[in-house]
Structure 1
């Protein structure tokens, strides 16, 4: 008999997988800060962290984390069949399934998220670079791209939120100006 898995269980499991692999929300937030600070002088790490947490509330990213980390772990234990095992273990350059899985969740956050993901995939900033570094340690073929996806989505979410806040502040200023009585009337 199939049972439906409660969303709390899925989220907790996805967050645990990230933690088990050495990925912290703060590490992702640092990438978000680096991507967004040139555009917002008042940006805080707290707002970046809040945006990362909001992205991780989405089932699509939780599912992608569970699938990607599982595939990385299976490759570490040599439990994938060949040639897939070698492709995943070596993070073969022409293997695009890792980016495809990660990119799927980015689309919900618009063009800023898509272009930011592409930038992060190419330039491997912060935690992404640490995960992408190939050595004889853990396999992170999927995880580095998933972290880029989370950071890109959180960056886009934050960019839109900052713009909304700026526009709301401008509107309040305009309302304040229009409330001042005209001294030259009469």
Structure 2
């Protein structure tokens, strides 16, 4: 079976109005105070690198497909209700998010928890959209947050030697 995995992933994200730049912006905001001179372009490269990982692509596809199927009311009960209403005890969306975030060590999981809790940027927009419209974004918001967390972690690992001091003189 031959398919263009990266291009397919970008296409599926775009169908949900998700861009590499949107994801990179969240990761950039997360890391800019720790990495002097960090650019949005550097972070976008980290996002693209993560999206080239086959396991991440598969996780993105599964999550976005479940959102699509729920939006079209094609899942069987009780899964339809759980996904459609983003049930707080469902947790499979966070499980996929955590798996994506783990692409770059445990710092990815920490970043993901922070981004998911605060509903930063597009994560918050998708979360609100899923609660206030007919759109189903149960997996989309977690995927975006996890990709941003993984990218922030990749940036942190790459630029660890260049970490900046905070007001107390402690390196972050």
Matched pairs, number? 161
Identify which of 132, 157, 162 aligns with 1:160: 157
Unmatched segments (≥5 aa) in structure 2: 164-172
Q: Among residues 4, 19, 27, which one is paired with 2:14 in the alignment? A: 19
Contact 2:127 2:138 in 1 (8 A): yes
Would the aligned equivalents of 2:20 and 2:44 in 1 still touch at CA under 8 Å? yes
Within the candidate set 71, 84, 87, 1:76 is matched to 71
SS in 2 for 1:68: helix
Post-superposition CA distance 1:131-185 (Å, at most 9, x none): 1111123211011111111100000000111125x39xxxxxxxxxxxxxxxxxx
Aligned mate of 1:91, from 82, 86, 89: 86
TM-score, length-scaled by structure 1: 0.83
Return the TM-score normalized by structure 2. Answer: 0.89
Distance 1:47 1:10 in 2: 22
User: Which residue is 2:108 aligned to?
Assistant: 113
Which stretches of structure 1, 4 residues or longer, exceed 6 Å deviation after superposition?
A: none
Distance 1:34 1:105 in 2: 19
Query: Who wins on radius of gyration, i.e. which is larger?
Result: 1
Q: How many Å separate the matches in 1 of 2:80 and 2:118?
A: 26
